[in-house]
Amino acid sequence: MKRIYLDNAATTPLCDEAREAMRTYLSDVFGNADSRHSYGRDAAAALASARACIAECIGASADEVYFTSGGTESDNWAVKGAAFARGKGRIIASAVEHPAVYESCEQLRRFGFSAEYLPVGKDGAVSPSSLDGAMAEDVVLVSVMTANNELGTLQPVRLLAETAHAYGALFHTDAVQAVGAVPVDVNVLGADMLSLSAHKFGGPKGFGALYVRNGVRLEALHSGGEQERRKRGGTSDVAGAVGTAAALKAAVSHMTEESARVRALKDGFAARVLNGIDGARLNGTTDAERTLPGIVNFRFDGITGEELLFSLDLAGIAVSNGSACSAGSSEPSRTLLALGLTAEEAKGAVRFSFGRANTAEDAERAYTVLRDAVRRLRAL
């Protein structure tokens, strides 16, 4: 039985470009990038080259890119680091943020900050007018993700950033799902900070970056070293940086054709599900202008997402019923509740996320298996 992986929003396989680029730095070029001898200089040169490549891919300068362990750390650092640097005040985020942002906002309450969350429409998008209505001079930070990890909804980031800046607040965007899938340019978005994670676009797990616009003050969350311009101590992961740069460069180079191909797979699959399976409901939207190419989220009347996930897995189809970072939770998705779904409806959700390795045959088989699984579960 051929297994089909349709959980690319959770992670993606390491791409060939990243694997080849990393090989040398996992064997021969093993030096510590902070050492002054030739081994260290070779590693430092590779680190600098990777930083410059990643910066170029998102429209930033190399000195604005800080390496981290992934999206979760980048989000934590952006939210907490910016808040601590600016002092007390209000933080505003959307109701559908990744747990890394949401929990960071909640933790900041212990330090005297207040946090509030903007509502979203049934498509999962924040209205700029709702942010404008919530803004005041005491807001120190606004954080709204570029694209939602459960629904694929794209947010009007530039308009939201402009609104935040009009009141003197900083703007952060979690672009973990967007980078490598759609064009991301920090200058176009107008963000002061932007998070990305390598394993979402074919890079290695455990590596990410935080873009911080020059001039933005950010408190360090790590002590004990002078790496990352004294902002994040710890020996540099040279192989991770090199692999991330190679993967991102490849993703950006092939983005136009690959995004169109993946979107066609997803749209065709979604149309078949909605037209061919009774009681199939779309969570969010499939509007091409407002969604990522590969993510679509459904619920099915009378069936829990957990039941369907396991049924599909037994048939060799890997999907998800929410954010991988919250997969162990029995609570309904906070994102789906924000759409206005009941707890029962939210627990029925299943996310399908297509990627570069998927084919039309994968989509066809996934539909057939899904249709049969829904019928079988309803008959129990």
> Active-site positions?
325
Backbone angles phi and psi of 243, in degrees to 5: -65, -40
Token pair for residue 264? 């066609």
Residue with tokens 């604005």: 64
Biggest CA–CA distance in the chain, Å, is 69
Count Cα atoms within 13 angstroms, Cβ side, for 91: 30
Order of strands across the sheet that contains 139-143:
65-68, 208-212, 193-197, 170-174, 139-143, 90-94, 114-118
**DSSP E strand boundaries for the chain:** 4-5, 65-68, 90-94, 114-118, 139-143, 170-174, 193-197, 208-212, 280-283, 295-300, 317-318, 349-353
Distance CA 188, CA 186 (A): 6
Which is it for strands 139-143 and 90-94: parallel, antiparallel or unpaired?
A: parallel
Distance CA 197, CA 178 (A): 10
Backbone angles phi and psi of 121, in degrees to 5: -80, -175
Contact 80, 107 (CB under 8 A): yes
Residues 95, 97, 99, 101, Cα dihedral to 10°:
-110
CB within 8 A of 223, min separation 6: which ones? 233
Distance CA 360, CA 15 (A): 20
Residue 177: closest CA among 147, 208, 207, 135:
147
